[in-house]
A and B are shown apart, each in its own frame.
Chain A
């Protein structure tokens, strides 16, 4: 064997973590992750779902994954490499993989692609996401009820519709229970950077916030809050139960396993078609982590009622009357937001005193 071939094989083995090594699988499922599988949040949950796929199908499926793939140009290389290595279906699990996924999909018409949280589809590219804003409504309710300084800190990642939706949903429900509530929003411009996330949490706390909501993937803000004391936090994407019962008082848990199993099954059966899935608390794609005893009994009961109402479809977190931040009317009394507006959301609701960075 040539030395170069040996080296590149070794390099490939290093970059790609291979799942089960058994031969002759029916389907190979690939996963592209934005962070390390041990981030304790977003990527951790995607990887958990990957393991659930392996568990479900045993020898019939082989899974491969690559972690910490930067969003942007390099992602295209990583996805191409995965398609070349024989994957039948590839899940690209971050918003920033949208264009690279579409580009690679054009070159590999026989490979199926599933892109998380995006909106561009093709013959062989489907999209899926979860209605995280339903969970944000519950967080907002608890946050608004529990804040003593009336200042809620929000560590946001990138100014994309998904993140803006979360901020709006949390704000609307915090405001409902506490008209004096204010949001301070920090854009971290990263999904995963524990040191920066901890710094952001500290900056918010030093500016008077006593509740920290986060849309970044690591548990660092919890550590910073625990150190500061008297600050509550919420698990993001994963339960982050290591920081329960305090400062972490509840969480949004992403449960991708049923969806991944369903899609891999569809590939096996040859019934896979490109579609768009957007599920929430009802179908179980969004879970609410245990609300701890640090939350007053009546607030907890209200939060659970809210969860039940959202789950059954009786209540939609974006129900009018709601105005946009510029004062114009968005939703009239009783009107419910349509999915199109939500998917492209690029405005704050009235009351949030900040600008969305361009």
Chain B
């Protein structure tokens, strides 16, 4: 066993890259759930974002355009979910699962011509001064733009929910849609906007997979990342900061266990792989024991103005 072959600088850099897709998807889903809607279609929206982002980036040779298209495509898909659940009052769980199936099927259809093609990837930023700091520069300040964008988004979502009037209204809708409605807020429109935001974020996360982390298109390539994002929202008890911690924990453990194996450390692989899930259960137990489960009170409940 020779742990010295693990380079901590490269390790942290890899963790940041591997955490970014689930962080993007999770922060979007958190906003959706804060508004009282449970969208289980994250996986489907992510993979749609992955394929559309890849296709557009290849055709336009611009990864930035790929990300924009990915966000738009996934938001469009989430709009279908929004219309079904908010206007036609369909069951959110079933519709969300349906969205995942549609996304997986649609993406493999769109993706057929793009198998095995190489894509333009995002350049790594070279931030003056910061990137030149020894150790830290390579570790934290030499990533592509999306890594920083995802972190900035977490801060922005936190500030929005905590410090703005609009954020307060969104939370009010999620806690009690009847009260919010009585106060004159447009519950359905607000939820629809949250759903669109969640879709766009999932799309960005998917595109990050196909354009930066892997980078290529393969059918079914999200392989469950959307479900992990959903788990992280619960793990984070609907708080933006904890979403970031959760995503980095997941990314960290994944990359760390691979690195430990590569270095020949005799660690029980299965246990390490399961550890993020064990931590999630532990956090849930602690939250329940304290009696304050943080889920928005109206989460998953359908709303109609007549009720």
For the complex formed, measure the closest distance between the CB of B200 and the CB atoms of chain A, giving whole angstroms: 21
**Residues of B249-298 whose CB lies within 8 A of A:** 254-255, 258-259, 261-264, 266, 268-270, 273
Chain B, residues 147-174, CB within 8 Å of chain A (1/0): the string is 0000000000000000000000000000
CA distance A208 to B219 in the complex (A): 30
**A193 CB contacts on chain B under 8 angstroms:** 223-224
Contact with B along A190-225 (1 / 0, CB 8 A): 101111101110111011110000000011100110
Contact assessment for B215 and A223 in the assembled complex, using a CB-CB cutoff below 8 Å: yes
Known: A38-B219, A199-B258, A202-B14. A14 touches B101 (CB 8 A): yes
Q: Is the CB of B218 within 8 A of A199?
A: no
A186 at the interface (CB under 8 A from B): yes
C-alpha spacing A38/B112, complex, angstroms:
8
Q: Does B213 contact A (CB under 8 A)?
A: yes
Proximity string of chain A (232-246) to chain B, C-beta cutoff 8 Å, 1 when within and 0 when not = 000000001011000
B214-A194 in contact (CB<8A): yes
Quick check: is A353 within 8 A (CB to CB) of the other chain? Answer: yes
Residues of B contacting A208 in the complex (Cβ-Cβ under 8 angstroms): 5
The answer to whether B262 and A354 have CB atoms under 8 Å apart is: no
- From the candidates A194, A354, A355, name the one contacting B223 in the complex (CB within 8 A): A194
Task: Verify if A311 is at the interface (C-beta below 8 Å from B).
Answer: no
Q: Are B220 and A192 in contact (CB-based, < 8 A)? A: yes
Find out whether the CB atom of B220 lies under 8 angstroms from the CB atom of A153. Answer: no
Assuming the contacts A36-B108, A357-B268, asked whether A204 and B262 have C-beta atoms less than 8 A apart, the reply is: yes
Give the Cβ gap from A279 to chain B, nearest Cβ, in Å: 28
Neighbour of B255 across the interface among A36, A199, A353, CB < 8 A: A199
Interface presence of A144 (CB below 8 A): no
Q: Number of B interface residues, CB 8 Å?
A: 44
A68 within 8 A of B: yes
Q: How far is the CB of B255 from chain A (nearest CB, A)?
A: 6
Question: Are A219's CB and B117's CB within 8 A?
Answer: no
Please report the C-alpha to C-alpha distance between residue A38 and residue B107 in the assembled complex, in whole angstroms.
Answer: 11
B216: chain A residues at CB < 8 Å are 194, 219-220, 223
Q: Kindly list chain A residues whose C-beta atoms are within 8 Å of the C-beta of B39.
A: none
A262 to B219, CA, bound (A): 30
CB B275 to nearest CB in A, in angstroms, measures 13
Q: Count residues of A near B (Cβ-Cβ below 8 Å).
A: 45
In the complex, chain A residues whose CB is within 8 Å of the CB of B225: 195
Interface contact A203-B259, CB-CB below 8 Å: yes
The smallest beta-carbon distance between A337 and chain B, in angstroms, is 26
| A39 contacts the other chain (CB 8 A) | yes
Answer yes or no: B120 CB below 8 A from chain A CBs: no
Q: How far is the CB of A235 from chain B (nearest CB, A)?
A: 11
Q: Are A200 and B218 in contact (CB under 8 A)?
A: no
Which residues of B have CB within 8 Å of A209? Answer: 262
Q: CA–CA, A306 to B18, complex, Å?
A: 40
Tell whether A226 pairs with B115 under 8 Å between CB atoms, given A38-B218, A199-B254.
Answer: no
Residues from 74 to 95 in A contacting B, C-beta threshold 8 Å:
none
Chain A residue nearest in CB terms to B18? A199
Question: Is A354 within 8 A of B264, CB to CB?
Answer: yes
Q: B218 to A184, Cβ gap below 8 A?
A: no
Smallest CB separation, B254 vs chain A (Å): 6
With both chains docked as a complex, state the minimum distance between the C-beta of B225 and any C-beta of chain A, in angstroms: 7
**Hey, which chain B residues are within 8 Å of A204, CB to CB?**
262
Q: Is the CB of B262 within 8 A of A184?
A: yes
Q: Which residues of A contact B117 (CB under 8 A)?
A: 242
B220 and A36: CB pair below 8 A? yes
Residues of A within 8 A of B127 (CB): none
Q: Is the CB of B116 within 8 A of A207?
A: no
Q: 16 A-B Cβ contacts within 8 A?
A: A36-B220, A38-B115, A38-B219, A40-B115, A40-B218, A188-B258, A189-B270, A190-B223, A198-B213, A199-B254, A206-B6, A208-B5, A226-B118, A242-B115, A242-B117, A357-B268
Interfacial residues, chain A to chain B (CB-CB below 8 A):
14, 35-40, 68, 153, 184-190, 192-196, 198-200, 202-204, 206-209, 218-220, 223-224, 226-227, 240, 242-243, 353-355, 357
Besides A184-B264, A200-B262, 5 more A-B contacts (Cβ < 8 Å) are A38-B108, A38-B219, A68-B220, A186-B258, A187-B261
Q: Which residues of B contact A (CB under 8 A)?
A: 5-7, 10-11, 14, 18, 21, 101, 105, 108, 111-112, 115-118, 121, 209, 213-216, 218-225, 254-255, 258-259, 261-264, 266, 268-270, 273
Query: When A and B form their complex, which 10 residue pairs have the shortest distance between CB atoms, in order from nearest?
Result: A242-B116, A38-B219, A36-B219, A203-B258, A193-B223, A207-B262, A36-B220, A194-B221, A223-B216, A186-B261
